[in-house]
Amino acid sequence: MRWPNGVFVTGTDTGIGKTLVSAILARAWNADYWKPVQTGVAEEPGDTDTVAQLARLPPQRLHLPAYVLEAPLSPWAAATLEDTVVDATSIVPPATRAPLIVEGAGGLYDPIDDTHMMIDLIARLGMPVVLAARSGLGTINHTLLSLEALRRRGIPVLGVVMSGPPSAGNKEAIERFGGVRVLAEIPPLPRVDAEAVDALARDIAPLAECLAALDGAPAEAG
C-alpha cells in the first residue's frame, strides 16, 4: 500500500511531549509542520513557533492552523468558552512537496467539535500515527489502550516515541504487547533547544524505511 508522505503525531495524554517529538521528526525527515488546531495561546506561544525554532524550519515549511483558540482546553471546550464554532470536517491538510508532520491537540479522545474527536480527524486524514508516550509508571497501560483504540479504527501506527528516564522494561512491554516499534527514547534534557533536537534527529530511522515497515516491505532506494 502507498502511505501518505508524512505522519500524524498524537499522544497518550496532554502534555506528553508531542511538540518536541514533532520537531525531532521534522528535523530528521526534512519535513513541513502543521498543527490543525491550536489551543492555549493565551498562556504560551503556539506550537508552530516552537517547532520552527527547535527544528530550524524556514517560514515556507510551516503551515498555519485551521483554528486558533485562547484557552488551554480541548478544542471543543475552548471553542464553547470563546463562542467560536469549530468544524472538524472542514480541516484539510496543506498541499506539500516535502513530508508533512501533523501534530494533534491533546489525546485521541479530546473532542474537537460537538460530534468529532481527535481520533476522528486522524482517521479522516488517513495518515499513519506516531504515538508520543511517557517512559515511566503507568505508560504501559496508557500506551496499549491508545494503540488498541487506533487499531480498532484501522489507523496504522508507525511507532511510539517515549519521553523521560529510559525504561528498558517499559519499552520491551510496549513493543511486545503493543506489536509496535519504539522509534526513539527521549531522555530528560538539560536544555530543550535546536542543538538537542539535531542530536536526537540523527537517531531517527528514515521515513521511507518506517513507512515500508508498515507493509513488511523493504524501503525503496533513494
* Residue pair 51/27 in contact by the 8 Å Cβ criterion: no
Give the CA-trace dihedral at 51, 123, 100, 90, to 10 degrees.
-80
Strands 67-68 and 182-186 turn out to be unpaired
CA end-to-end distance (rounded Å), the chain: 18
Cα–Cα distance for residue pair 93/213, rounded to 1 Å: 24
| DSSP type of residue 14 | T
Which residues are known catalytic residues? 35
